[in-house]
Each structure stands twice: as C-alpha cells, then as structure tokens.
C-alpha cells in the first residue's frame, strides 16, 4: 500500500530537499506538496518529476498563516485521500529579522562563535505584525496554522489499526526563555520566531500525551544551521559573501553546521524510516554533519514541562474556537462555517 505524505513549505529549501530524499527512498509513495505559492510549487513538482519520472506528486494550495486557507486545504485533502501516513510541518517564516551587528562581529571572533551561529541567542530579533485573522503572523504561520491543520485532518490521521506521523521542523533557536505561557503569540516580545519554535516543541509533546493511543505520533527535528532563503534573508548578501568561508571552516569542528538543505533534511528523512514506537516523544532529533561530510541523526532531550505543554494545547483549542467563530461571522452565508458555529455554542 502506497504511503501518503504531505509536506508543507515544500517548494524550496529543506522541504524540497526532503521531498527529493523521500522519492529516492520510496518511489511508490504519494507525495503532496502543500505550498502558498502555486507557481513555485509547480516548478518544484516539475523538478521532482524530472529526477523521478513516474512519481506520484500532487499539489495543494495552503497558506498556513491563514486559518481560512488551512480549512479550505484540509477539505481538499479529505476529498483526495482516505488516510495520511506522514504530515511534515515544515513551513515557517522569520519576517523582518534584525541583527545586532556589534554583537555579531564581537561573537565572530570569540569562543562563542559556534553557539552564536547555531542559536542566534542575543543576536537576532524580529518585528512581527498582525495577520488577517488578527493573530501575530509568526505565531500563526509557524504554529497555529499547523495546529488547526492537524485538528482538521484528525479523521485521516487517527484511524483504527493505522499509525500516522506528524513531524515538526523546529530550530536550535527554539528557547524556553523566549516563550511565555501567558503570551503564547509573543505579542510583547521581540523574538517571535524563537517563541513559536519552542511552542511547536511543546505542542509535539502535548500531542504525544494526548494522541499516541489513537495511533498519532509526533516528532520534532532540528535541521541544524542550513543556508536557505530564510537564512539568507537575515543578513545582506555582502555579509554572507564575507563570512561563508569562515562558516565552512568552522564546520570542520562542529556537527551542527549542516549548511545545505539536503544535509538539513537528514533527521526528517531518518524519521521516515523509523517505527514510531521506538522513538522518544520528548526528544528533538537533530540533523548533524561531521567534519568529513557524513550525515547522521542524534536525539537530544527537550527542556519541556508536560503539564505546561497541556496548558498550551488547551489555550490553542480556545483560540481556535475564537478565530473560527469570527470566520463564521465573516462568512455567514457559508453552510460549513455555520455548522461549526452551532457545534461550539
């Protein structure tokens, strides 16, 4: 039986590299590229079919930063497939990154250079904004949209006698110090990316606590330091030209500088080959590359409190109700929205 695999943010970077590796591993799987920009998604699909003629690659329009787009995409998925084996939650944004240049150059020639590049701690902030749903954009895209997607696809993910997997692309920048359970959208802070990634780590733990018994298993991956469009957007191109030779040199001495999307997708691909029962629900699986260029995966325990993770899950449920209630009011003539509104009243 062919596996059904959905990858969000699949048109470039780590998402596209993962799709390439999955098709190389299993030519029979049914792969769905869930992307916001359909022109880029079509280009990615064409590239995959060029290297994997005869592969079954579907496209799905999905903007995880918009709840309405998520609901529409979920409806398409439920009409197209009768189950989901893997749901890779890879889409994410880091808008308007601002780098403390003084701290950057100070760290560049210090003992802390590896940690600085790996975590961006004390170096990187972002300016967030509200989206059309009235939510903080980074929170909505990196976490909440994916949460709603999982909720909508539960009938395909949780089936008797069937095991399904949810895999989050997290970050080494996911830090507990950036997250507050009293401000899950990070409205008051300046590190929304770090906060959203730590929240996704927490949500993965909460999903395992709640849904392993229903056959749904969640895992978290850190791709390491990868040069993608998101990474290149942090600094001007002239800076990258200056420091890339230094980064390749540092890579000899650290395994977290995976650098290429292919290497960064190592743990995502590795999880595809594992039985979920053998995995640690509280571990983050890191893509690592040795100084000699060998890729491997290593689990590391996450700094997550299970009870706090459950509180986050409950807060997301309440937020989902509120957002969907607003959508119902906005689309008063939509029968599906009205049906949901009646259910939650």
Catalytic residues: 193
- From residue 209, give the alpha-carbon distance in Å to each of 51, 163, 206, 245, 306: 40, 15, 5, 44, 8
Whole-angstrom Cα distance, residue 151 to residue 310? 15
Q: How far apart are CA 298 and CA 149, in angstroms?
A: 28
CA distance 160 to 228: 39
Q: How far is CA 201 from CA 133, 154, 176, 211, 334, in A?
A: 23, 19, 10, 15, 35
């Amino acid at each position: 039986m062919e596996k059904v695999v959905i990858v969000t943010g699949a048109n470039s970077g780590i998402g596209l590299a993962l799709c390439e590796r999955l098709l190389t591993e299993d030519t029979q799987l049914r792969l769905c590229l869930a992307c916001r920009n359909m022109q880029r998604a079509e280009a990615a699909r064409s590239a995959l079919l060029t290297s994997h003629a005869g592969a079954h690659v579907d496209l799905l329009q999905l903007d995880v930063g918009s709840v309405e787009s998520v609901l529409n995409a979920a409806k398409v998925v439920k009409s197209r497939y009768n189950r989901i084996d893997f749901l890779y939650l890879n889409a994410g944004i880091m808008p308007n990154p601002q780098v403390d240049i003084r701290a950057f150059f100070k760290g560049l020639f210090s003992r802390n250079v590896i940690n600085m590049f790996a975590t961006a701690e004390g170096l990187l902030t972002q300016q967030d904004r509200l989206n059309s749903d009235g939510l903080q954009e980074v929170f909505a895209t990196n976490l909440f949209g994916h949460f709603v997607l999982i909720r909508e696809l539960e009938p395909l993910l949780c089936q008797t006698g069937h095991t399904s997997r949810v895999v989050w692309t997290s970050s080494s920048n996911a830090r507990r110090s950036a997250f507050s359970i009293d401000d899950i959208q990070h409205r008051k802070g300046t590190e929304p990316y770090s906060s959203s990634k730590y929240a996704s780590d927490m949500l993965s733990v909460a999903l395992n606590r709640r849904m392993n018994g229903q056959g749904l298993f969640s895992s978290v991956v850190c791709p390491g330091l990868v040069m993608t469009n998101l990474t290149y957007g942090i600094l001007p191109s002239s800076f990258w030209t200056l420091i890339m030779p230094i980064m390749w040199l540092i890579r000899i001495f650290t395994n977290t500088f995976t650098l290429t999307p292919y290497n960064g997708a190592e743990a995502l691909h590795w999880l595809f080959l594992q039985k979920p029962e053998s995995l640690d629900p509280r571990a983050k699986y890191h893509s690592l590359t040795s100084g000699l260029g060998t890729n491997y995966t290593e689990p590391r325990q996450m700094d997550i409190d299970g009870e706090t993770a459950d509180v986050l899950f409950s807060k997301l449920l309440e937020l989902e109700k509120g957002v969907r209630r607003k959508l119902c009011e906005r689309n008063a003539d939509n029968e599906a929205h009205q049906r949901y509104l009646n259910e939650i009243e």
